[in-house]
Structure 1
Amino acid sequence: MHAAVLTQFGAPLTVREVPDPEAGGGEVLVEVLATCVAPYAAEVFSGERSYPLVPPVVPGIGGVGRIVRTGPDATRLRPGDLVWCDCTVRSRDDALTPDITLQGWSSRGEGGAQLARYLHDGSFAELMRVPTENVYPLPAAAGEDPARWAALGVHVIPYGGLLAGQLAAGETLLVSGATGNLGSSAVAVALAMGAGRVIAPGRNQAALDLLADRFGPRVRTLPLTGDEGTDRAAMTAAADGRIDMVLDLLPPSAPASATRTAAMTVREHGRVVLMGGVGMLGGDDLALPYPWIMRNCITVRGQWMYPRPANVGVIRLIASGTLDLAPERVRSFGLDAVNDAVVYAASHRGPFDRTALTPPAR
């Protein structure tokens, strides 16, 4: 098969012939129809983000595909089925604290690295080997535009954070980092889940205008000044009441003060979910005040990625039309143009901009 291979950090991906993967027990072989190219992929491949990929490796974070072959333990999946392949792979020998790897992308700890050595390659290829439990049936409509449906891999991440924070219908949510790729997705997903109002602060006025135009009065946008007191007061005023939950999706380049400003707008007994990259490049600690957390009974939770059922939930939201993919701007590239796709994704990282890689049909 043809695949895009990262031969070393700092070098362009090389499209070349590699052996077809062979699926064993507990695995399926999938023909890749479309996969998303992350806006920060160039930072990963350059080594800037120091991801624990071990070249040579076929990168790629999940995707839409058709099953080619199943293992003996698959009782409902059949060759030809249209499926979503989730990249979040968990070890099977610890139900409470499983090790995790993001297939073809990243991992956590030595256990995650061990998983990554086994499930080494991702979706920038014609074929991919996937654990059976990481494959989810898709409606036939996904086959008409798999590149658009590949955005599932973006939307399922904030959905996991909203589930972790137990967002309820009618509640007010503040999305810290709302003008980014994941943050804008969080706005869309929260509204699809029934949020009564979403507060969307940011520095990019064009992105704020886009959110306001797409979602109307249920979204309250506001420009940030960088002053904690001023911005916190503006967020609280925009809520027109209490903020029930804050979801932080700020990137590594953002200061901890921006996360703290948003977090401290939450009401008594409110919830704060941290999913972003703040602190990964160094800088000040988050420094949320102990008395404020304790006296106001605040729940602060970290969430990396999402639980397995989140895949099913997002598929249902999209299939029902509650989460509408139609307004998203999708640019597709063939496998041979993978390096062009990486460059394009880096310069199109705003709200609802999607870059897809579509390997040729076999």
Structure 2
Amino acid sequence: MKAAVLKSFGTPLVIEEVRDPVIGTGEVVVDVVATRVLSYTSEVLSGARNYALDLPVVPGAGGVGRVRAIGPDATKLAVGDWVICDPTVRSRDDAIAPDIHLQGVSARGEGGMHLQKYFHHGSFAEQIRVPTENAKWLGRITDAESAQWCVLGTMLVPYGGFLAAKLQPGETVLVSGATGNFGSAAVAVALAMGAACVVAPGRNEAILADLVRRFGDRVRPVKLTGVEDDDRELMKRASPGPIDCVFDIMPPSVSTNVVRAAIMAVRPYGRVVLMGGVNMQGGPGLELPYNWIMRDCITIHGVWMYPPDAATRLIAMVRSGLLRLDHYQATAFDLDHANDAVAHAAANAGPFKMTVIRP
């Protein structure tokens, strides 16, 4: 099969023929029809993010396609079914604390690297092999719709955070990083889950206005000043009541002051979800006050990705009309132009934009 291969960090992807995946028990092989290109893929491929990747590797975080082959343990899937491939691969021998490997992107710890050696290649290829439980049934879609369904890969990240925080209908959410690609998805997901209001801080007034245009007055925009205490007060004033949950998805480049301003806007007994990149590349940590966390009974959830059933739940939300995919504009590239797709994703990393490769 044809694939885009990363031979060494900082070099372009090489488009070449590689061995077709060989199926084993507990696995599914999928013909990839469309796969999203993460906005920060160029940073992963250059080595700037210092992600744990065993090279050479076919990158690519999940995708949408049709089942080519199934193992003997599959009882619901059939050859030809449309599925979304969840890139979050978990070890099966410890259900309480599984090791995790983000297929085609990164691994966590020694156990994650062990997983990566087997479920090695990602989705920038004509075929991908995934664990049976990672092939999520989509139902009937058309080939033309496959690119749009790739949006689920972005929406799943904040959805996992809100599930961890047990977000309830009628609550008020603050999304720290609302003007970014994942942050704008978090706004959409929170509203679909029934949030009464989403406070959306940011510096880009045009993007903030666009969020209000898309979702109405349940979105409360806040123009940040860069002064921590002032910004915290602005966020609190924008909210119609106490802020129940703060969700942070800020990238590594953002100052900790900006993140802390948002986190400490949460009400007493409130919840905070950390899914961003603070301190990922070194530098100071958040330095949250111990006494504030203790006396205000703040619950802090560190969340990487989402639970195994999240994709199935999110598909149901889309099918029911609670969550819309048509906010997103997708730009597609063929596999031969994978390097162009990576560059395009980096240059078009804003809200409701998506770059896909169609192998």
Give the TM-score band, short-chain normalised.
over 0.9
Pairing 1:54-133 to 2, within 5 Å after superposition: 54-133=54-133
| Aligned-partner Cα distance in 2 for 1:73–1:215 | 43
In structure 1, the residue matched to 2:32 is 32
Matching residue of 1:281: 281
1:13-52 deviation per Cα after TM superposition (whole angstroms, max 9, x unaligned) = 0111111010101001100011100000011111111111
Q: Residue in 1 aligned with 2:10?
A: 10
8 Å Cα contact 1:139-1:319 kept in structure 2: no
Partner of 2:329: 329
- Distance in 2 between residues matched to 1:143 and 1:309, nearest whole Å: 25
Distance in 2 (CA, whole Å) between partners of 1:54 and 1:142 is 35
**Corresponding residue for residue 155 of structure 1:** 155
CA offsets, 1:226-265, max 9 Å, x none?
1011100000000021000000000000111111111111
Deviations 1:155-187 (A, max 9, x none): 000000010111100100000000111000000
Match of 1:198 in 2: 198
* Distance across 2 between alignment mates of 1:135 and 1:303: 22
Question: What is the DSSP-based 3-state SS (H/G/I as helix, E as strand, rest coil) of the residue aligned with 1:266?
Answer: coil
SS at match of 2:10: coil
Name stretches of at least 5 consecutive residues in structure 1 with no aligned partner.
none
Counterpart amino acid of residue 275 in structure 1? M
Tell me, yes or no, if the aligned pair for 1:34 and 1:64 is still in contact at 8 Å: yes
Deviates further, 290-299 or 107-116? 290-299
Q: Aligned partner of 2:333: which letter?
A: F
2:268 corresponds in structure 1 to 268
Output one character per residue of 1:266-313: Cα deviation in whole Å (capped at 9) or x when no partner. 111100010000111222221111111111111011000000111111
1:97 corresponds to which letter in structure 2? A
Find the counterpart in structure 2 of residue 352 from structure 1. 352
User: Does 128-137 or 317-326 show the bigger shift?
Assistant: 317-326
What amino acid is the match of 2:341?
A
Q: Which amino acid aligns with 1:201?
A: P
CA distance in 1, matches of 2:204, 2:55: 36
Q: Secondary structure at the match of 1:252?
A: coil
| 1:215 match | 215
Q: Which residue of 1 aligns with 2:183?
A: 183
Alignment correspondent of 1:305: 305
Q: Shift of the alpha carbon at 1:143?
A: 4.2
Could you tell me how far apart the structure 1 residues matched to 2:141 and 2:118 are? 33
CA distance in 2, matches of 1:144, 1:345: 20
Give the Cα separation in 2 of the matches to 1:53 and 1:345.
20
Indicate yes or no: 2:249 matched with 1:249: yes
Aligned residue identity for 2:225: T
RMSD over aligned Cα atoms: 0.9
Structure 1 contact 161–306 (Cα < 8 Å) conserved: yes
Q: What is the alpha-carbon distance in structure 2 between the residues aligned to residue 222 and residue 213 of structure 1?
A: 15
1:95 Cα offset (Å): 1.0
Matched residue type, 1:28:
V
Q: Partners of 1:139 and 1:220 in 2: how far apart?
A: 36
Secondary structure of the residue aligned to 2:154 is helix
Cα separation, 1, equivalents of 2:354 and 2:262: 27
Query: 1:246 aligns to what SS in structure 2?
Result: strand
Structure 1 counterpart SS, 2:226: coil
What is the CA distance between 1:144 and its match in structure 2?
Answer: 3.9
SS at match of 1:167: coil
Q: Percentage identity across aligned positions?
A: 57
CA–CA distance in 1 between the matches of 2:144 and 2:43? 32
Determine if contact 1:200/1:221 at 8 Å carries over to the other structure.
yes
Alignment check: 8 A CA contact 1:156 1:306 kept: yes
Which segments of 5 or more consecutive residues in structure 2 lack a partner in the other structure?
none
How far does residue 142 in structure 1 lie from its aligned partner after superposition?
5.6
Alignment check: 8 A CA contact 1:255 1:284 kept: no
The answer to whether the 8 Å contact 2:84/2:135 transfers is yes
Work out the CA distance in 1 between the residues paired with 2:139 and 2:24. Answer: 26
Distance in 2, matches of 1:67 and 1:216, equals 39
Contact 2:177 2:249 in 1 (8 A): yes
Show the counterpart of 1:240: 240
User: Mean alpha-carbon deviation: is it higher for 203-212 or for 98-107?
Assistant: 203-212
